[in-house]
Amino acid sequence: MTVRIVHRYDSTRVLYEGEHETVRDAVEAAVKARANLAGANLYGTNLAGANLAGASLGGACLAEANLDRAKINSGTVSALLATGTLKDYSWQAWRMEDGSTVLRVGCEERPLSEWDEHLPGICRQHEPSRASEYEAAYRPLLAFVRALSEGKGGES
All structural domains of the chain with their residue ranges = 1-72, 76-156
CA 124 – CA 121 distance, rounded (Å) = 5
Q: Inter-axis angle of helices 131-149 and 112-126, to 10 degrees?
A: 160
Please give the pLDDT value at position 47: 93
Please give the pLDDT value at position 153: 54
pTM: 0.74
Given a cut of 50, the residues of the chain with pLDDT beneath it are 154-156
CA 63 – CA 66 distance, rounded (Å) = 9
133 φ, ψ (degrees, to nearest 5): -65, -45
State whether residue 147 is helix, strand or coil. helix
Please give the pLDDT value at position 155: 44
